[in-house]
């Protein structure tokens, strides 16, 4: 089981945001608890098979040093804004198969409203801003770079 | 200085290359030079951000002391 370091003075924010290996949502959720948090929200963005053509897998390219810093800043900002007890975001690099997690966001707060809102905010900003790109590989042998993020409401 | 590019930009240019042009002093000028060198990527370059290893750079940022500049197309993570 992978260990995710957790440390931040205001809220507990994870330190490593890009992973080249599988993300286990079950392991994360098992670890991710806080005695003052009554609500834990987990979002798992997973690879789906239909994208106009049948998708076999995605391959994520990352400007890693910048992505690490930007995601961390987004988590810290969200933690302050919603008074989170814990916040975590991990995004995959490399090859990710259908039904595997490409990105996971977990938020913990005293009540559910803050955890839901912060989680939505974090994933939207990560998708829009973090320097991460997906290349889609299709069953017909073709591949293409993913379309630009247009996820403001989704 | 060394230029590093990502994702769809690599369909038009090498993933990293040296830019030797003493007239380039800021990101805006670099952007124009890249568009001249790689005209097929002009539209994509116009939508890009630029960064160092850890910071997004503004378009008027002076870059003469930077060793590495990263050209960042619109994100498609998640």
Complex-level ipTM: 0.93
Asked if B41 and B20 touch (Cβ cutoff 8 Å), the reply is no
Cβ–Cβ below 8 Å for A66 and B6: no
Which of A93-97, A128-132, B60-64, B73-77 is least confident? B60-64
**Predicted pLDDT at A8:** 47
Mutation choice for B interface testing from A44, A46, A62, A63 by most B CBs within 10 A: A63
**Predicted pLDDT at B4:** 98
Cβ–Cβ below 8 Å for B75 and A147: no
Domain residue extents for chain B? 2-72
Residue B28 to residue B40: CA distance in whole angstroms? 18
**Predicted pLDDT at B61:** 92
B7: tokens are: 């994702």
**Predicted pLDDT at B64:** 77
**Predicted pLDDT at A148:** 62
Residues of chain A with pLDDT under 50: 1-9, 150-154
Cβ–Cβ below 8 Å for B54 and A69: yes
B68-72 and B49-51 as β-strands: parallel, antiparallel, unpaired?
antiparallel
CA A69 to centroid of chain Cα atoms: 14
Chain B residue nearest residue A104, CA to CA: B78
DSSP B26: B
Q: Does A135 touch chain B (CB under 8 A)?
A: yes
Cβ–Cβ below 8 Å for A145 and B76: yes
Nearest to B75 among A65, A132, A135 (CB): A132
Q: Does B53 touch chain A (CB under 8 A)?
A: yes
The pLDDT-based confidence of B75 (bands split at 50, 70, 90) is very high
**Predicted pLDDT at A14:** 86
Q: Does B72 touch chain A (CB under 8 A)?
A: yes
Cβ–Cβ below 8 Å for A148 and B54: no
**Predicted pLDDT at A28:** 94
How many beta-carbon pairs below 8 A join chains A and B?
71
Instruction: Answer yes or no: is pLDDT of B22 > 80.
Output: no
Chain A residue nearest residue B74, CA to CA: A148
| Architecture in CATH of B2-72 | Roll (3.10)
Residue B8 to residue B31: CA distance in whole angstroms? 16
Residue B9 to residue B5: CA distance in whole angstroms? 6
Separation in Å, CA of A61 to nearest CA in chain B: 7
B43: tokens are: 């539209």
DSSP B45: H
**Predicted pLDDT at A152:** 39
- Write down the pTM of the prediction: 0.90
Q: How many CB atoms lie within 10 A of CB A80?
A: 12
Cβ–Cβ below 8 Å for A145 and B8: yes
Q: Does B8 touch chain A (CB under 8 A)?
A: yes
């Amino acid at each position: 089981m992978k260990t995710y370091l957790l440390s931040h003075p205001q809220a507990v924010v994870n330190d490593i945001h890009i992973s080249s290996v599988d993300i286990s949502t079950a392991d994360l959720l098992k670890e991710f608890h806080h005695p003052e948090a009554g609500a834990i929200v987990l979002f798992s963005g997973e690879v789906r098979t239909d994208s106009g053509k049948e998708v076999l897998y995605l391959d994520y390219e990352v400007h890693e040093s910048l992505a690490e810093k930007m995601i961390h800043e987004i988590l810290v900002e969200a933690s302050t804004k919603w008074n989170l007890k814990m916040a975590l975001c991990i995004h995959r690099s490399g090859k990710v198969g259908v039904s595997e997690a490409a990105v996971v966001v977990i938020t913990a707060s005293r009540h559910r409203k803050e955890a839901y809102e912060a989680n939505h905010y974090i994933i939207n900003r990560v998708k829009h801003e973090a320097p991460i790109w997906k290349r889609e590989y299709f069953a017909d042998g073709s591949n293409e770079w993913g379309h630009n993020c247009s996820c403001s409401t989704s | 200085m060394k230029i590093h590019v990502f994702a769809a930009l690599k369909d038009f240019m090498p993933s990293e290359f040296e830019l030797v042009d003493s007239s380039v002093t800021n990101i805006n000028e670099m952007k124009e030079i890249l568009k001249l060198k790689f005209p097929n990527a002009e539209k994509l370059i116009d939508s890009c951000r630029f960064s160092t290893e850890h910071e997004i750079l503004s378009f008027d940022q002076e870059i003469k002391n930077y060793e590495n500049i990263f050209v960042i197309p619109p994100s498609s993570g998640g």
